[in-house]
Chain A
Amino acid sequence: MSRIQQCFENLRSEGRKALIPYVTAGDPDPSMTLPLMHALVEAGANIIELGIPFSDPMADGPVIQQAMERALLHGVSLRQVLEMVRSFREQNQTTPVVLMGYLNPMERMGYETFAREAAEAGVDGVLTVDLPPEEADDVIGFFKQYELDCIFLMSPTTTLNRARRICEQASGYVYYVSLKGVTGSSALNVTDVATKLEGLRTVTDLPIGVGFGIRDGESAAAVGKVADGVVVGSVLVNKIATYANQPQQARDAIVATIRDMRQAMDR
């Protein structure tokens, strides 16, 4: 059983939902990331999504774009991100780590090399924003070979037929994007999400994480009622922008947000 499956199994038996924070690796500089990952786990995170900086993040809003630009200023790219995961695994062997990013850095490294090195570093899953299942045949074989879960996105525009095709390729969990837009978009409609998830559950038994538009304990708890996992990104990354050059304050603010969400979800 993969670390991700195990994680969802454990939570299910406890009647709890996964809290899945996203941070961009290397933001605002490489020294921030490792202590932040441990602090996130300490504050109640169950899975960590670690963003791979990319020069052209087409699906991201300004908050995560700027995070990636900060990381890229320090030369943080895919290889450095794998090193961070390797370091994280020296102290933590249980919390799943999912890499989230765009295809070109992986293509440039070579899919087999990437899959092998990611698995060796202790990565559990990969979510590639610009890789729909139609184009994924070459890539997925290597991910499966090295036992990396393939996390795919689904969105409000995904028909049930497409969802069925996506779920045939997916493993670990699927990530439902709650609204049409980029990361950091405004309010989500939980009723719409609930309706959509009911449909998706008829085509897959995989856990469903929901992200986009989750800002605080209240929205996390509301989504947690209908989803198996709650993904939160821009609101955390925004703390790093707010506390520029004050890593301790940024980390404290992020930890406080995650604690709020954890408490609200477990209430």
Chain B
Amino acid sequence: MHAPLLQLQHINAHYGPIHVLKDLSLEVGAGEIVCLLGGNACGKSTTLKTILGLVTPSSGTIVFAGEPITGWSSSERIRRGIAVVPENRRLFGPLTVHENLLMGAYLRHDRRAIDEDLARIYARFPRLSERAGQPAQTLSGGEQQMLAVGRALMSRPKLLLLDEPSMGLAPQLVEQSFALLQMLSRQGVAVLVVEQNARVALQIAQRGYVLQTGRVVLEGAAAGLVANDQLRRAYLSRGSVIRFSPLGHGRAWRGHGRQSGERR
């Protein structure tokens, strides 16, 4: 088998005194769907931020498309083909749908190709095309999800990272957006999806990793994980979920504290 698209090798990451990722290694092959499972504050989001270059690991290497990218800036990584659909989607509410999509192509300058990609996304999501001139904050939850994925696709990624895409969506919409991921992977885009909803994620993923307090405790083919008893314990171990969105003006302190260790 040829070398994987993305390799994390023995990554350690710290937020101040907190050791968030512990000797974490994982791989995503080209066009593969991989899910990263685990409860609250287990380091899933930090893993994505490390891949994107928003968190600097204290040790370990990241290899993407054959190049060691560990010291690269986020924008260099995005240019090379990594894109993210962040937790809570994080659209630019006052900007129009069209402008949100253009923001996804922020680092690109090939105007003609950008226009083609816009046309492709509008063709794929006619609802977005209908609402192109509307502020993103007026969209429904499902439309926002489409826009968040569309925005990420505008950078022409080889690897798409998704942080809890099922959160806040009705079951039907979850299914739709996971079907979309499958379609993308068939077109050659690799997908690394972070989920608490392990059942749904394992339905579309080929492989999965289970994190617990920053460590990979379980990995393997999705089919094997579904049947795994240990998995149930791993991802249900943390009880109820209280969320807050990190940073962002004035929103940071909703749902006090519970997850702060993971975010800071």
Please indicate whether A and B come from the same complex rather than being unrelated chains. no
